[in-house]
């Protein structure tokens, strides 16, 4: 299906988006509050591996944290839709900062592995879902505006930027300051950024308006297309988790652990740069088709990671993998906008981020076991398996990504052209 967007004039750029009145009041604290998300898993892996000497144990602890986050994130999103972001965010960041500090202390005290598992549950469950909340605020600011398509791309680019800076910061802190410094910094940034973001009350979605639209509304999970996207995002999470463990093990095996953050930064930089380009392009192909093609490219490139045995080759493949991820993420979030009613959109976005976290958690566990039991770099088999399985599901069930919600908006009259452009940019 062709896009209705046919000229640059109908697709505003990033500059116009960032001049939206009041946008910076939630963008800056939102960026600080979401930065820790990219630090958490790697900080945990490096800390627990340091205290136990096992990547398998480190991966398992990180996996419990990721699973906990994935299970609680949609519930957090639904509460935010119904009761307001501030009411959910403030207690959440306080719990997360405390839980992260306790987990750090237990790891340094060489607590039994089961104790670390228990402490990981509240740490993951309380991770603030700032990214979905920022996307929901854009929806309030830009309702029925063609700028919303640009905002969708911009938020995906921002997510990728955090995955450039987060691993670099976590690696630098854990390898040059102290193994615990990464996790403690993550907890501190979450607390400060989350409180500042929650203080921006004027830009959060209206609880009263959302409550009216929630009448007779089911969970976003009841939409078939959302379930297909969850599987797709699980595969993307497997790339993040497998890369984190695989790169950490590879750089340690060659005696250069400091290169871990650099190599992961190259991977994330490719992700961010392709996101910038993807968001600036006026697409004519339907988003369903773009998602299948982009995901096929991701699976193909990810399947070559385990064959890399040099820093240069691994950096090159990592860059290509990163460049393939952003288009899939951006297109997936675009489909959420068109598949899901506004009243459930924060919940839907948290299902997506939760799926990435769950895929990452499973990948960290599997990759850690492979690194311990097989050869250095065996963890890179996980991104290959995850993306290939997700691609098979996507190709088989791609018809479920049809956009009934966009059609309903068109039928409703006001703002119809803008919403079609958003769903099929």
The residue ranges of every structural domain in the chain are: 22-203+220-423
The answer to which of 24-33, 48-57, 146-155, 234-243 has the lowest mean pLDDT is 146-155
Give the C-alpha separation, 7 to 204, whole Å.
32
The answer to which of 202-211, 395-404, 409-418 has the lowest mean pLDDT is 409-418
More confident residue, 319 or 276: 319
The answer to which of 85-89, 102-106, 117-121, 292-296 has the lowest mean pLDDT is 85-89
Q: What is the pLDDT of residue 409?
A: 37
Q: What is the pLDDT of residue 105?
A: 93
pLDDT tens, 142-161?
A: 776 777 767 777 877 787 67
Q: What is the pLDDT of residue 414?
A: 33
Kindly state the average pLDDT of the residues 224-252.
84
Residue 4 pLDDT more than 70? Answer: no
| pTM, to two decimals | 0.69
The answer to which of 288-292, 305-309, 325-329, 343-347 has the lowest mean pLDDT is 343-347
More confident residue, 387 or 251: 387
More confident residue, 202 or 212: 202
Q: What is the pLDDT of residue 128?
A: 83
pLDDT tens, 33-56?
A: 887 777 888 888 889 988 888 877
The answer to which of 103-117, 137-151, 404-418 has the lowest mean pLDDT is 404-418
Kindly state the average pLDDT of the residues 20-45.
82
Confidence tier at 58 by pLDDT (50, 70, 90): confident
Q: What is the pLDDT of residue 343?
A: 67
Kindly state the average pLDDT of the residues 301-325.
84
Q: What is the pLDDT of residue 117?
A: 92
Task: Quote the percentage of the chain above a pLDDT of 90.
Answer: 9
Residue 11 pLDDT more than 70? Answer: no
Task: Quote the percentage of the chain above a pLDDT of 70.
Answer: 83
Kindly state the average pLDDT of the residues 63-78.
80
Kindly state the average pLDDT of the residues 341-354.
74
Q: Which CATH superfamily hosts domain 22-203+220-423?
A: MFS general substrate transporter like domains (1.20.1250.20)
**Most confidently modeled of 57-66, 187-196, 271-280?**
187-196
């Amino acid at each position: 299906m062709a896009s209705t967007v046919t000229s640059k004039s109908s697709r505003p750029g990033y500059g116009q988006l960032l001049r939206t009145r009041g946008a910076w009041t939630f963008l800056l604290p939102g960026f600080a509050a979401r930065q820790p998300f990219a630090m958490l898993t790697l900080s945990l892996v490096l800390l627990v591996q340091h205290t136990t000497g096992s990547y398998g144990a480190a991966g398992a602890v990180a996996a419990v944290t990721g699973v906990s986050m994935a299970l609680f994130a949609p519930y957090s999103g639904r509460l935010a839709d119904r009761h307001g972001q501030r009411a959910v965010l403030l207690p959440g960041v306080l719990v997360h900062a405390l839980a992260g500090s306790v987990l750090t202390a237990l790891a340094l005290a060489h607590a039994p592995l089961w104790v670390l598992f228990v402490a990981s549950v509240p740490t993951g469950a309380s991770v603030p879902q700032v990214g979905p909340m920022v996307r929901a605020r854009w929806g309030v600011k830009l309702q029925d505006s063609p700028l919303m398509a640009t905002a969708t791309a911009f938020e995906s680019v921002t997510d990728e930027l955090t995955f450039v800076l987060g691993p670099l910061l976590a690696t630098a802190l854990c390898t040059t300051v102290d193994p615990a410094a990464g996790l403690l910094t993550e907890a501190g940034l979450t607390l400060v950024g989350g409180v500042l973001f929650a203080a921006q009350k004027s830009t959060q979605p209206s609880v009263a308006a959302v409550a009216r639209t929630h009448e007779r509304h089911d969970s976003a999970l009841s939409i078939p297309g959302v379930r297909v996207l969850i599987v797709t995002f699980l595969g993307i999470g497997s790339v993040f988790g497998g890369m984190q463990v695989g790169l950490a093990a590879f750089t340690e095996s060659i005696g250069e652990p400091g290169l871990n953050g650099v190599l992961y930064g190259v991977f994330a930089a490719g992700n961010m740069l392709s996101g910038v380009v993807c968001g600036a392009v006026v697409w004519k192909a339907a988003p369903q088709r773009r998602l299948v093609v982009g995901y096929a490219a991701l699976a193909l490139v990810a399947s070559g990671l385990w064959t890399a045995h040099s820093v240069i080759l691994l950096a090159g493949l990592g860059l290509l993998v990163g460049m393939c991820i952003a288009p899939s993420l951006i297109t997936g979030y675009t489909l959420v906008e068109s598949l899901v009613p506004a009243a459930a959109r924060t919940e839907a976005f948290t299902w997506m981020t939760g799926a990435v976290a769950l895929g990452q958690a499973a990948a960290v566990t599997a990759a850690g076991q492979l690194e311990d039991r097989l050869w250095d770099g065996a963890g890179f088999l996980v991104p290959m398996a995850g993306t290939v399985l997700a691609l098979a599901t996507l190709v088989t069930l791609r018809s479920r990504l049809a956009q009934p919600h966009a059609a309903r908006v068109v039928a409703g009259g006001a703002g119809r052209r803008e919403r079609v452009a958003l769903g099929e940019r």
